[in-house]
Structure 1
Amino acid sequence: MLKYVINVVRLSLLLWKWGNMAVKESKYAFVILTFIVILLSGLGLISSYYFQKNAIEHETIHTLKKYNIEFTRYIQSEAGMMNSIIHLAKNKSEFVKPFVTDDKEKLFSLAKPIFDNINKNNDITHFYFLKPNGKVLLRVHDKYRNGDIVKRHTFLQAKNNLTPFHGLEFGLKKNYTLRVVHPWIIDSKLIGFIEIGKEIDKITQTLSNQLDVEIYYAINKSIFTNSAEFIKKKLLKLHTTDKQYIVYKTNKIPNNFSELVNSTETEWIKTDNQVYISYNKVLRDVSEKELGRILFLIDITEKYNDFIGTYINFTSIIVFSSIFLLAIGFLLIKTHEKEILRTLNQLEVAIEKSDIVNTEQKNLLSLFDTGDSVLFRWKNDKSWSIEYVSKSVTKLLGYSRDNFLSSDVLYADCIHPDDLARVSKEVKDNVNNKEGFFKHEPYRIIAKDGSVKWILDYTVLSKNKKGETTHFLGYISDITTQQKQKEEVETIFYTAKDALAILDLDTNFLNFNDAYLEISGYTREELLKKSCIGLSVKEDVEKTKEAIKEVVKKGYITNIEKSCIRKDNKIVTVNMSIAMMPDGEHLVASARDVTQSNKIQKELIQAKTDAEDANRAKSEFLANMSHEIRTPMNAILGFVEQLSKNEKDSKRLEQFEIITSSGKNLLNIINDILDLSKIESGKMDIEAHPSNLKKLLNELKSLFEILTLKKEQKLNFNIDKNLPKCLIIDPIRINQIIFNLLSNAIKFTPQNGTIILEVEYIEQTKKLKCSVKDTGVGIAKENLNKIFNAFNQEDSSITRKFGGTGLGLSISSKLLALMDGELNVTSTLGEGSTFSFEISAPLCKEAINNTVKNTIKSKVSSFKANVLIVEDNKTNQLLLGMILEESNITYEVANDGIEALNMFKDKHYDIIFMDENMPNMNGIEATKQIRIIEKEKNLEKTPIIAVTANALSNDKERFLDTGMDDYISKPYTEKDIQGVLQLYLKEK
């Protein structure tokens, strides 16, 4: 204000001189004086308003940007705390057994007390136990929701790198959550993952309270698949603002929120007698996906009101002063105009020589703040007599201004006794400070109510013309909260298991905990002379420098893996995270020795690769074995079928039947082994689609009535009368399961025994319930758990007596598990057994097509057709030719794909039977070439039927995708061939 008055006087002098020269003591002098006063007053009011407003805005924006840095630091701090919690959980050995054995109840009873504790004390809202593939074994916070597969970014990073990972992201229920995921490795083996999370509203509330700032998370509605339903479920946490955002709120949402969150500038907001300044930034999740915006609002109501009050008072003073000056001026102009000019000239000279605007006032203005801080001016005497103190002293210390100004209370008496000597020494040591100011180390003061507060004190020296310090200007602010946080941080810093260090921007070590000494191998004195870059191996120096540049640009960087050289010259690999500290001049770095875990990770990856190679080799072996057995078996069973048609000798027919039965048993064993291999390698898919279960059961009944008739057994099919005609199931696998259970029942039930199949549909739950009960030999109680293991039967005598591989029940159990079902057994030795299961079977929305394409009404003998057999095996050529001759169909044979192409170019065929594996050109490539020829020559499409011995994976789909029309697996029967001929010749 003093500086402003001086400048006004200077400008007044200049204008007065100009006016005086212009009018030369004319009668218009007073008019000019009036104009000058009004002009200067207006300029003063306007400049004062914008100066104060800009000062408040500048200070607040600076504070908001510091909050932004504090937000990043707080997230890192929370992640560190959550890492420590997971370490404690991983170290609890009693968790391992129930986790590995999938004992959810036991695991829940052990983990629930821990979750309750961390939920209460740390606001942790999520606690997961995950299997290695991401399947949720247990949500401690939501016990009955499990079995789903987690595919979040944090989990995938932890899984791929086998290292802890954290970040903010959404979950299945669209909770925006800070998540920390740890791999759980026991004895160098990955058994699963542990994850904990803290929902953003918990973090937001805590951070908002600590920083005294309102924080809003505005999430793009496009993130949610069903925003309306989601808002309804989360009404207490969320607020919808407009068409674009959904907001996690800590307080009432401002009316103009949409404008604020989309603005790239800081904004002033006035609402409900409160004044705020806003600042926003882009909100991203841990995968750098943009989610929306974070909006910070800081309350400046008190500062704003002080500013307005001061401005109103200043305006009043200016107005009254202007009127007074005009009145005096009018009188003086009339009587003492010459004397006024002379006096003004003298005043101008005096002002130019004056040192009124000196360093003391500048420092005073730079220190003054309208907030909670206190401004003192005191004498350099023994008692530090106070000449001025700001009104905010009452809020800080509880004493009034008069208490200090009257010396009833001395400031020295308010300083904590343990700190007084140090503060006095700092004043004494700096009384002749050439810089003109100094800063005290933080010290404590005692308020009137006895409370102790930590103070940050800046002191400016006021000197006379001789250079002697006569007064002090003190600017003190309350840092109790910051000091408490600092002490807490220091406690965490020095006791943390991870290595932590404070670095300057050149990565020189300034401070660190004992864990860093342990990693580096240096003593404290030695490490203080080192830098983080200096400890890096040569190959990682540039990587470290680039990481520091990223921190300076972005504020933080995580999961930087680098190698460092210890004092003993050993190389250690560390995983580092680095963040910029709020002062912008220092870095905080955390490091973890991952040398051993990386070694374990590499071993696990190698083991995984070896296992995959072994599994691939096994699959290839099984495929080759299947092919090599099916090819000759096709000829054996095919020729036996042809020979038995015209055979009249009963003994010979019985021998043919034995050969056929033995061959089919061998094929069943191969099929079981292939199915088990597909299940264990995760390649077995359940293909549920609209199916006629009644028809499937009738076909099974027809088959098993013949088998039970031979053994003189009773077979009952008790089918629910209300069983729907159409259900969404996998008919092939349901048929396989019931077939296995009935086969077992017949095998282990003696003559005159009974087998009962019961099928029930539960309308309320849309469940299909099946059971197979027999009066057979039964199973001993101690052997019930063995029967579901692959290649296992109750004991070896069972195999010798009844035969079989022991795969049927194991495969059935595993197939039901893929359908979210379970195979159960109850049995009494000597009385019989009951096997049962229950699976989901939704009703069809539309009726299924009951047409069976392969139904054969009669042999295809009335059609004239020319067939091409493409087959390299002479025996199979002969067999297929014999079947075709039975139907009076002519055929030609090609020994490989190239020969087939040449024959197709010269002749038309009604059907082509195409083998897959042939020399020179295989069946798939030959099919592709035939389709190209048809397209080029605009020919009608020829039906191509795949005939193959491969049966390991989805062969039919593979053949259809390459242009073939149908598929027959070896060994085939005459009925299979007749079905294809009838279908495709009829269609022609």
Structure 2
Amino acid sequence: MALNKTSAGWLRRLSNRTYLPALLALAVVCAAGYYAERQNDTIHHQSERARIQQQAGLIKSRLEGQLNGDYQRLRGLAAMLATEPDMPQSRFSQITEQVLKGQTAIRHIAAAPQLVVSLIYPMKGNEPALGLDYTKNAAQRAAAHRVRDSGEMVLAGPVNLVQGGTGFIYRLPIFTGPEGERKFWGILSAVVETGTLYAETGVAGADSGLEIALTGKDGTGAAGQQFLGSADIPAGDPVLMEINLPVGSWQLAARPAGGWQSRPGNLWQLRLVLLAAGTLIVFPTFLAGRLSAARQTVIGQLRRREAELEAVSRRLEIAVKTSRVGIWECDAENRRVTWDSRMHELYGVPREEGPLSGTAWNARLHPQDRDRVAESLDAAERAKTNFASEFRIVLDDGTIKHIRALASPFTDAQGRDWMIGVNWNVSEDVRLREELIHANQALSERNTELKEGKRALEEAHAELQKQQAELYRLSLVAKHASDSIILTDARRNILWVNDAFTRATGYSAEEAIGSTPSDLLDGPDTDLSVIREMNRHKERGVRYHNEVLNYTKSGEEVWFDTNIVPVTGADGEVDLIIGIERDITRSKQRERELAEAKLAAEHADRAKSEFLANMSHEIRTPMNGIIGMADLLAEANLTADDQQNVETIRSSAQALLKIINDILDLSRLEAGKFAITREDFNLRDCIDSAADLFRPKALEKGLSMQVSYAAGLPERLHGDDGRLRQILVNLIGNAVKFTPEGKIAVRVSHAGADPCRLVVEVQDSGIGISEAQASHIFDRFTQADAATTKAFGGTGLGLTISSMLAKRMGGGISVQSQQGQGSCFRLELQMAPAGEAMSTEAPALADAPPQLGPCRVLLAEDNQTNRLLIRKFLRGQPVDLEEAGNGRAAVEMCKELQPDIILMDMSMPELDGIGATREIRSLPIPQPVIVALTANAFSSDRQACLDAGMDHFLAKPVKKAVLLHTLAAVLAEAAEAQQRPRASA
């Protein structure tokens, strides 16, 4: 019970406002102490981490400097091996000793040309490693191949060394040769001892006060394997740093030896200071609270007196405001208004006139404010609420004032309702407010401009940094570019050269700077006119490009593709000249080789053409006699056996002639000299004529042949109907040849919406071909297989020529076939619409040879068989035939006999047909009609004959009907030419 009373007493004391400040001060002091202690812990932890981070950063810098320095030494050694791949052991040891001077971490270095160790430093103690073949060593093979294939340095380790201990292994690939043709030479390896490396860089120092862990074996970074330090260091919130290696990285983790301290050493000193400070704060606050209680009593008395003075103060306040605020009151019952003098001044109304009536006051309101103010005032009166508004009034002289009005309703002691209010002039306030608004707008606009300016400055700064970075990158590009780059001043003195220039010319940068390019590079065969033209362009500040022959320091010729770019200053004068040179020596050599190869190919092509022409002539000449005589025998009355023998001779000769024509066609197509003659033709006539050629053979084999035409095909087209017929003859002929039984279908249509895109499908039920055979069926000299060739014969050129012709005519040929089921060849050609209408019937030779009129014919032919054949062809015709055995005799006989027609062979002894024609055309005699009758079947031969002055061209072997029709046409033309002068007379 006594305890409860004591507690209640303390609660009463604590609830007393007197002690509240002291309690608050105590709470603040406690909170401040807790916060200070926490801050002290944080500061201690941060300072400790900063110290560890600084020490770790120093170790990181040492490691990176040591490893990258070793890497640069090895790169220099690798570069020397690349330039001197046949370096002996003695020179290797001498150079390596100089490279490794002053460092102790690298234990030994080995060079392995073609992955076989041949050079070692130091040699002592490492002799067994000589001859080690990495490709045959399972422990070394994968790493060696990785370096060779990637073309980059590999840092492996740490690994256990055979000599004892652990170490890191550098492996660098070495390539020889210029850029673009680099060849793999071998590998340069170096072993870095871990103990020495750790000792030199401070990693293993016992006095560092750190626990260190390294992660990233073989340069794999934070994701790699830890290879140094305790495994619990990375998990103990260490300081982490990335160590950048020449290739890859390590992660360094560091913490204080023994781990992080949880409490700072000055904890109790801080607590004593906080206790003392709290005492100095709380105790005076308690005393101040006691004094405050005494003051509250006095304040209560003062408040009572203040209430008594408040009424007086209100009146005094109104009196003070009367100096600038107008006061009015209105009796709500009778609407009587009372103004003070300030109100009269505000509204410009003399005092003697009294206040304005409600209507007059309403009229003084600005028209734009009148309705708003009236509604607001009426609402306040009805609701008996305060009225507050700002409006404009218009005085009699037109002056506009801004008035602010406040009013409040009240009820007097007699129960009457009143409205009392004040008005004051706020025109100046409005003006200042508008000016302030304008100023704020201007300030806002200025701020916007400043922001834009700041943004522009930031963008300019960023652009400047970007340009600086770009310039830095460009400088690196220029220095390490594969093309030679030379910077000269306006007088052509060299200011700077890149590494490629020194490699290409053999001059060092020190030797080049200060000289002119001509002093260094010009030689005995340099084209001085090119150099002078280049200098003129430099002086004019105009770009220049050319190929220049220069010489290296050792005197070797080198061709450069040179680009000169003068750079002018603000005054238009040349300040700097940039020269970019690309080594094209090998390209020049290849150009010479290609020119020589082209010349050799042209010689071979001419030789092939000459061979084919000679072969054609030599074969066609006897073929003319064979086919001609066979045709004459066929006209005679022969027995059935003799007729069969003659037909066998004719078909065999025609087969041989087709082979010759196929070879010639193929040669023309390969040479691009095969002419496509386009003219209007009847589509059905062309296709039907090709099919009709094989109907007798098809009927003989018991095959049915159908030709069908799709709807919508044009009657006439514009194209080469002769080549179309040639292709169809080959396709339909093959179908008949390779179909022992069944049928053959020829379907004619068009592709898509283009009626001129002609599609012809030739389908048979023959032997077919396999998918593998179909892939090369269009190759030259190719048939399905050897058995097919033996069974059916043929050269294998027909489909090749047909495919090439189809491509020349804007289309192609494809095949679908199944062995034993037949084949379907699809021909697609691009034709054009026909022009004017033409006859639907093609002209044909008469069945019977024509009867010639009387004429004198001179036959110039050196082959007796062919002369005999022509005599027999002309037997029974009223022709006076004379014969000449060579071109010279033909000219002499022409002078004497003056023939009407000359049948002229091209190839004859003493004087060929071309030369004989030219001489005859120069004779002062009535000129005969000269018809070429030759075994030279090339289009070039035809053109040569026409250019020499011949009128017609017949290729051997010639048919009797063709010869007679040609002679008849020639005689008809001559007769018509003679009648023209008579008609005009």
Please report the TM-score for the alignment, with normalisation by the length of structure 2.
0.50
Please report the TM-score for the alignment, with normalisation by the length of structure 1.
0.50
When Rg is computed on C-alpha atoms for both structures, the one with the higher figure is 2
